[in-house]
Copies of this chain bind each other. A is one copy, B any other.
């Protein structure tokens, strides 16, 4: 949940740098690394909970920073695009140094023939894809979390995105090799550049999902995929069961290989009566409307004014003839599952606009519910349990009078809810509802987080989800790699 502030309830562990030592460490850093240290309060406002900000330009800069932090035992918190949603980059009690990696955003090598690329950790996935397009390289990096997310942050969180249906997640094989500065300031590469390697433990994956608690990733080799023609289609259903059933039927057919994305946007008719009365334009409405508006803008007048029903957004990929054949199959399948409207975006421009609205829905929604703050949360269940999860959650939130919007990467059983509140009482109700959502996901074989990670927001759920022994193993690994506990303390599987 993104409803965090950068302070921790626990007392600091003994041994982190005193204010005096911290000041000393910063002075040493300042002398070593020129103007990469900032303690300017105006700058730090954007990095809450931190004592200082450093902006390294190279792996060598990061080595210097870690060397000093290790010597003085100063907590370090790596910062990528700042788009994480569970408090992963929150400061540690005003005593940490925030290592803002966004200046390390260079693409170092492009190997078009091998379908891979080497970049610094501060490069963003959308920036990389823009560069490849501009250079005429017919390849792209398919992981697509929030716009502006950096490669380092995507590795840290173990992210995914709308393309996961076709391309999987950050926990798959997209990161071939990472360069990491370990807590003792040594630098390692986890692997070589070959696509496959069975040379020992999978250290690349040790850092995927570790949220910067084991070291700072400074460079990565990414595998790329060929850019394929795509088309976008929208299908509306009388209920979520039909929508989810249709998706699984298509994915399990020979046509499934051409589904790049399937997004669910639920109707907003059944819940949140209280706040909806105050402001009927909740996120999902905005969302569906934005998509439908984009769609309608390019289609015939008679096709306009779709109702706010449970809606699927498909992105198909492949040679145009294959897309047409796949679309026919999808049209027949969704019809058999109760689809009431099915339509293709009529131009590439319309499709791009629709998808851009989808990708920026979070920001749009925040602006649309005036005066409200939102807790965004995600859970994931085996796909066949998704209709039950959506149905029960809607009823639960309606009973609690909470305004919400539900969207999801339905091909994977991944479910996002945005829960709004305007005052302390509502905030408490929202927190409780988010907790019930996690328990509901568990009871359906699911996880407390499908792609947002643990950070501080989901830390409390980790032992209950995985068991004490599993979390103890994470802690044993953490202790072995970072005995002084300087890397992003208080996050992920850390007790404090």
Contacts and interface: CB of A to CB of B under 8 A. Distances in A.
Given A188-B467, A477-B206, A492 B226 contact: no
Task: Give the secondary structure class of A's interface.
Answer: loop
Interface stretch (A21-29, A47-55, A91-99, A316-324): A316-324
Contact of A198 (B206, B256, B449): B449
Interface string A304-335: 00000000000001110110010000000000
Given A226-B251, A252-B226, A467-B188, A202 B194 contact: no
B474 A200 contact: yes
Interface stretch (A122-130, A152-160, A232-240): A152-160
A131 to B, nearest CB: 18
Contacts of A158: 198, 202
A466 B252 contact: no
A170 to B, nearest CB: 9
A200 B454 contact: yes
Nearest to A209: B202
Interface in A157-206: 157-160, 164, 168-169, 171-173, 182, 186-203, 205-206
Contacts of A182: 469, 473
A446 interface: yes
A380 B187 CA distance: 24
B492 A481 contact: no
A253 interface: yes
A108 interface: no
A40 B470 CA distance: 37
State the number of copies, please. Answer: 2
Contact of A188 (B159, B198, B248, B473): B473
Nearest to A452: B198
Given A383-B115, A473-B182, A255 B198 contact: no
A201 B492 contact: yes
A226 B199 contact: no
A138 interface: yes
Contacts of A191: 447, 466
Interface in A69-114: 111, 113-114
Nearest to A187: B469
B446 A194 contact: yes
A158 to B, nearest CB: 5
A146 to B, nearest CB: 14
Contacts of A258: 257
Given A194-B413, A248-B113, A203 B172 contact: no
A14 interface: no
Given A114-B384, A226-B253, A226-B254, 4 more contacts: A193-B382, A198-B452, A199-B462, A254-B322
Interface of A: 111, 113-116, 138-139, 157-160, 164, 168-169, 171-173, 182, 186-203, 205-206, 208-210, 226, 228-229, 248, 251-258, 317-319, 321-322, 325, 380-385, 412-414, 441-442, 445-454, 458, 461-462, 465-467, 469-471, 473-474, 476-481, 492-493
